[in-house]
């Protein structure tokens, strides 16, 4: 098997993912908008390149892990973009959280040149990416998915297949992020209610994360919310705002009201307006405490 792969996007998630591929023996060509991010990978044996097109080899495999629709489309479709070189039979695995509409546009653009577009957004924090323990949501052409199975085995602890239309994987990712944000809001309100009645919020978090809700979201996110520990950001609050915006746009496209998503969107936009865009998205809990008169 050819263990050469291209990788675009070395943010909080992309960097540990690319390092995991290098450690597994892949020859990785890397590109990032800020070239200094490539230094760590270069020191480990990866090859930095000056433009997105250069990560691809005709008919090869590339992965992108980028911030939003614009970043993915510019990196893929722009001048010197991935698609200008990937060519027939190439596979582009987009692991970013983007809109279903953008995924559909990208899939169509790949079809026009005979390449395959696979959507594979992930659930997991940077530490899970470093350990190869991500959960991967996959949708795209069957033959392409089979071709990248071994890559998913390196990066994740399991994958879930949602068919051949890439945009479906992005709907699932947005649904998941909506559920996470909803849990964070619920924890923030519950912990703050306890605090207002003189109960240590950390004790409440420990109780419920060990009993009724013994799962990673309540254990890890709950601990951060209980302790008001939101820096350094593993997932920036501004990205949470972006995702809730995508949730509401997807809801509108499906003619579906989502009142809780509206509340969460306003919680995020209020937090950004207060200068919290760069902290972790668990920081939405600070606004709950402030509304209750707590500092």
**CATH code of the domain covering residue 175:** 1.10.1040.10
| Structural domain total, the chain | 2
Are residues 185 and 114 located together in one domain of the fold? no
Which residues on neighbouring strands pair with residue 173, listed in sequence order? none
Q: What is the pLDDT of residues 260-291, one digit of tens each?
A: 999 999 999 999 999 999 999 999 999 999 99
Are residues 98 and 154 located together in one domain of the fold? yes
Are residues 248 and 156 located together in one domain of the fold? no
Question: Mapping DSSP to helix (H, G, I), strand (E, B) and coil, where does residue 236 land?
Answer: strand
Q: Which of these three, 132, 164, 196, is where a domain ends? A: 164
Q: What is the pLDDT of residue 100?
A: 97
Domain extent, residue 262, equals 171-291
Are residues 150 and 240 located together in one domain of the fold? no
pLDDT over 70 at 67, yes or no: yes
Q: Indicate which residue of 20, 168, 173, 242 is catalytic.
A: 173
Are residues 127 and 24 located together in one domain of the fold? yes
Confirm whether 223 is a catalytic residue.
Answer: no
Per the CB < 8 A criterion, the answer to whether 81 and 108 are in contact is no
**CATH code of the domain covering residue 122:** 3.40.50.720
**Among residues 294, 271, 250, which one has the least CA distance to residue 100?**
250
Q: What is the pLDDT of residues 78-106, one digit of tens each?
A: 989 999 999 999 999 999 999 999 999 99
Per the CB < 8 A criterion, the answer to whether 65 and 129 are in contact is no
Q: Which of these three, 124, 143, 164, is where a domain ends? A: 164
pLDDT over 80 at 254, yes or no: yes
Q: Which of these three, 111, 141, 164, is where a domain ends? A: 164
Are residues 190 and 95 located together in one domain of the fold? no
Mean pLDDT of all residues in 210-219:
96
Question: Mapping DSSP to helix (H, G, I), strand (E, B) and coil, where does residue 286 land?
Answer: helix
Task: Say what percent of the chain tops pLDDT 70.
Answer: 99
Q: What is the pLDDT of residue 295?
A: 82
């Amino acid at each position: 098997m050819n263990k050469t792969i291209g990788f675009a996007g070395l943010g909080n998630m992309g960097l540990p993912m690319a390092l995991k591929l290098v450690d597994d023996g892949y020859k990785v060509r890397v590109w990032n908008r800020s070239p200094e991010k490539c230094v760590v990978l270069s020191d480990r044996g990866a090859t930095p390149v000056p433009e997105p097109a250069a990560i691809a080899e005709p008919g090869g495999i590339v992965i992108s892990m980028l911030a939003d629709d614009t970043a993915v489309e510019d990196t893929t479709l722009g001048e010197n973009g991935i698609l200008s070189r990937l060519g027939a039979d190439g596979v582009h695995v987009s692991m970013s959280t983007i809109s279903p509409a953008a995924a559909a546009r990208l899939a169509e653009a790949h079809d026009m040149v005979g390449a395959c577009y696979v959507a594979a957004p992930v659930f997991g924090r940077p530490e899970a990416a470093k350990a190869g323990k991500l959960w991967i949501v996959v949708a795209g052409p069957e033959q392409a998915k089979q071709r990248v199975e071994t890559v998913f085995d390196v990066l994740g602890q399991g994958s879930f297949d949602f068919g051949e239309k890439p945009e479906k994987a992005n709907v699932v990712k947005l649904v998941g992020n909506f559920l996470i944000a909803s849990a964070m809001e619920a924890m923030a309100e519950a912990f703050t209610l306890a605090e207002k009645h003189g109960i240590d919020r950390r004790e409440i978090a420990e109780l419920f994360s060990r009993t009724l809700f013994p799962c990673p979201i309540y254990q890890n996110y709950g601990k951060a919310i209980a302790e008001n520990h939101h820096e350094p950001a593993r997932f920036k609050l501004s990205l949470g705002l972006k995702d809730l915006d995508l949730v509401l746009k997807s809801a509108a496209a499906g003619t579906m009201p989502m009142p809780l998503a509206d509340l969460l969107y306003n919680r995020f936009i209020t937090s950004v307006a207060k200068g919290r865009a760069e902290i972790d998205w668990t920081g939405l809990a600070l606004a709950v405490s402030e509304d209750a008169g707590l500092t």
